Structure 1
Amino acid sequence: MTHSDFDSFRPTELARRRRTDRRRGGGRRRDGGDGSREMPMVPEAEFTSYYGRPVVKPAPWGDDVAAYLFLGGVAGGSALLGLGGQLTGRPVLRRNARLSALAAVSLGALALVKDLGRPERFLHMLRTFKLTSPMSVGSWILSAFSAGTGVSAVAEIDRMSGARLPLGPLRPVLQAVEGPAGVEAALFAGPLAAYTAVLLGDTATPTWNAAHEELPFVFVSSAVLASAGLAMITTPVHEAGPARKLAVFGVMGDVAAMRVMEHRMDPIAAEPLRQGRAGAMLRWSERLAAAGGLGALLGGRNRAVAAASGLALLAASALTRFGVFEAGLSSAKDPRYTIEPQKNRLAARRAAGITDDSITTAG
């Protein structure tokens, strides 16, 4: 008997039983047959309605991608703070922010590769550059950001070790390009924090697609919260002034961007942002952001208060990313979030007098 890779797809066969119930004169079988013909091996088809089934296929992403969304924001905001410390003469803030950016982008890259399954798949995405693909553009943004962040962070590590890294003749080169590398990383910080929002909005997932215009502002504000909070935890208060100011602006931007996004979305498509697990995470995100912002504004010069406020801001940023991610996955499972916004848009177009531009808007 030969075997092939497709044997596992064959339906299992029911075990045959001996015909012990046959009687003289032709009795009937237990399975309903009369013995005059072979019984079908395939069961009768059961016809069910398609109502209640998902219209769009949920994104095949797990918590690894959600973690990447959060860590990318931490890395981008930290690179901006590193440039601020570089330009204002705050060496501790510069060092901590650069190292934070390197750690966050490294962990984020590991999460991304884990989701892809094989590391070479990321390299395959760098074979082309396609402006219409957020995934392609994002891969190049991540690579460019990582290069600048890596160079500036290695310079900091070499300085911390007392120039003990085995760099040899490369040390003068590293010291010469350290400053430009920090600037280059900061230039790609904003795109790194925002492109993941564009990537989500470019999918057919109802809630993400409905929020595609405002979601980048939410993600950038969230990145500011995370990076400012991390800097407040790791940096002494006498050098963390820029981080505290950034935290206050980040809280205002985060709350305002979320409110504007929910207001401009279709009310049906916005429901997953307020319900279930996603709604709970986003409500706690707003509370923690407000608490962290008040702590940074009123008590940020106290080391303990600054650290507690920074931790609250970090948690708020993480809950925002995970909450938006969870809301999108939930919206793809219920056909209501796909069908009803479409009906609402169609009714609005007809009410505006647009009835002859396509078959879907014809009266």
Structure 2
Amino acid sequence: MTHSAFDGYRPPEPPRGRRRRRRDGDRSPARRRGLGALGTGDGGREMPMVEDVEFSSYYGRPVVKAPPWGAPIGLYLFVGGVAGASALLGAGAALTDRPALRRNARLTALAAVAVGTPALIEDLGRPERFLHMLRVIKPTSPMSLGTWILSGFASGAGVAAAAEIDRLLGERLPLGPLRPVLRRAEGPAAAVSTVLGAPLAAYTAVLLGDTAVPTWQGARRGLPFVFVSSAALAASGIAMITTPVAQAGPARVLAVLGVAGDVVAMHRTKESMHPLEAEPLETGAAGRKLRWAERLAVAGGVATLLGGRNRWIAAAGGAAVATASALTRFGVLEAGIESVKDPRRVMIPQRERLEKRRAEGITDDSITTGPES
């Protein structure tokens, strides 16, 4: 007798000595109708349905493969928001004649890019992969557009920060005849980084939502608002730590607005998601991070609103909202990776959306081909 790995699914057979041929007369009417105990039919008659079935995928493997993203990508998500919002904050400082805030915001943007780009390259595995993505521009790919946004932003932020460093050092950098060129390029370079600041802060949310990961895909409409608000928290928090309160007024305003936007956007995003898709955002390690992010954001916003003109309170509030931003980014990343481990989060929301589209009469596209037969 041959054996296979599927023999374990078969019901046990009686011993050979006890086998006997059954005749129709030996069976009760219920057995003749195929309504006997579960597992006693011969496959040709109707069997009772099993009420409680464990929802699982083939061989216990995830339906959707988890992205191989770890701490470097979490760091990149955070510092990308810091860089983009800091450029916008620096532009506001320049327009309102706050040189200290302008300088600190521009230096923060450059430092964030300097940390985030190596983190992204490290996660890609080989540095040349980053360069390969610059060979073409693919408008339908968030990764392709994001690479170009990051490259353009880094160039503009680098020139603007170099001008700030030169002034900070009393023009002691050995620039020679390049100093006038740097001064003339400072304004346009700062404008480039300002224009690309908001896309840099938000495109990573679009990138996550463009995947098949259940939690990210379910949050794709609200996640950009969450990430933009989170970026505002990070940039304003760092500015409040590094800038005297006399010039940090725009940072305080941005922090309060960021707190309101972050809390509202996160709650609205989770409400718009299927409960199974939103579950990883509320449970486990990711849920704890996001709950602490909300608490720290609210605490930092209250401190900023009530005592932001005190240097120490402003610094404490800034640290709280910046930490809240980091926890939000890492929490969303971990929630998405966790969501692929349960096949219910992939299949059940898709099935319910499909049934809803069919009920609405949408049957003429590639998603909904018609009612079930």
1:71-90 to structure 2, matched below 5 A, reads: 71-90=79-98
1:129 aligned to which of 137, 143, 147: 137
Structure 2 CA distance, aligned partners of 1:192 and 1:147? 13
Amino acid at match of 1:141: I
Amino acid at match of 2:197: A
* Residue correspondences, number: 321
1:259 aligned to which of 267, 276, 279: 267
Amino acid at match of 2:303: G
1:94-105 to structure 2, matched below 5 A, reads: 94-105=102-113
Question: So what's the TM-score if we normalise by structure 2?
Answer: 0.83
1:1-363 to structure 2, matched below 5 A, reads: 46-47=5-6, 50=58, 52-354=60-362, 358-359=368-369, 361-363=371-373
**Shift in Å at residue 120 of structure 1?**
1.6
- Cα offsets for 1:281-314 (capped at 9, x unmatched): 0000000000011111110000000000000001
Structure 1 CA distance, aligned partners of 2:122 and 2:71? 10
Amino acid at match of 2:240: M
- Cα offsets for 1:110-144 (capped at 9, x unmatched): 10011112222111110000000001000000001
SS at 2:266 equivalent: helix
SS at 2:211 equivalent: coil
* Aligned match of 1:12: none
Amino acid at match of 1:129: I
Structure 2 CA distance, aligned partners of 1:338 and 1:360? 21
Structure 2 CA distance, aligned partners of 1:157 and 1:291? 34
* 8 A contact 2:358–2:370 mirrored in 1: no
* 8 A contact 1:98–1:153 mirrored in 2: yes
* Aligned match of 2:37: none
* 8 A contact 1:75–1:105 mirrored in 2: yes
Which moves more between the two structures, 261-270 or 243-252? 261-270
- Cα offsets for 1:172-198 (capped at 9, x unmatched): 010111122112111000000011001
Structure 2 CA distance, aligned partners of 1:109 and 1:333? 29
- What percent identity do the matched residue pairs reach? 65
Instruction: Name segments (4+ residues, structure 1) moved above 6 Å.
Output: none
Amino acid at match of 1:115: D
- Cα offsets for 1:168-227 (capped at 9, x unmatched): 111001011112211211100000001100100001101001111111111000000000
Question: So what's the TM-score if we normalise by structure 1?
Answer: 0.85
Structure 1 CA distance, aligned partners of 2:362 and 2:155? 50
* 8 A contact 2:63–2:343 mirrored in 1: yes
**Shift in Å at residue 85 of structure 1?**
1.2
**Shift in Å at residue 356 of structure 1?**
6.5
Unmatched 5+ stretches in structure 1:
1-42
Structure 2 CA distance, aligned partners of 1:45 and 1:81? 66
**Shift in Å at residue 361 of structure 1?**
3.8
* 8 A contact 1:126–1:136 mirrored in 2: yes
Structure 2 CA distance, aligned partners of 1:66 and 1:114? 12
**Shift in Å at residue 52 of structure 1?**
4.0
Unmatched 5+ stretches in structure 2:
10-56
Structure 1 CA distance, aligned partners of 2:275 and 2:148? 35
* 8 A contact 1:53–1:334 mirrored in 2: no
- Cα offsets for 1:2-40 (capped at 9, x unmatched): xxxxxxxxxxxxxxxxxxxxxxxxxxxxxxxxxxxxxxx
* 8 A contact 1:222–1:320 mirrored in 2: yes
Structure 2 CA distance, aligned partners of 1:118 and 1:361? 47
Structure 2 CA distance, aligned partners of 1:134 and 1:209? 14
Structure 2 CA distance, aligned partners of 1:361 and 1:293? 51
Amino acid at match of 1:80: L
Which moves more between the two structures, 78-87 or 343-352? 343-352
Cα root mean square deviation, aligned: 1.6
Structure 1 CA distance, aligned partners of 2:152 and 2:127? 18
* Aligned match of 1:36: none
Pair 1:161–1:359, CA change in 2 (3 A)? same
Amino acid at match of 2:110: L
* 8 A contact 1:141–1:188 mirrored in 2: yes
**Shift in Å at residue 351 of structure 1?**
3.1
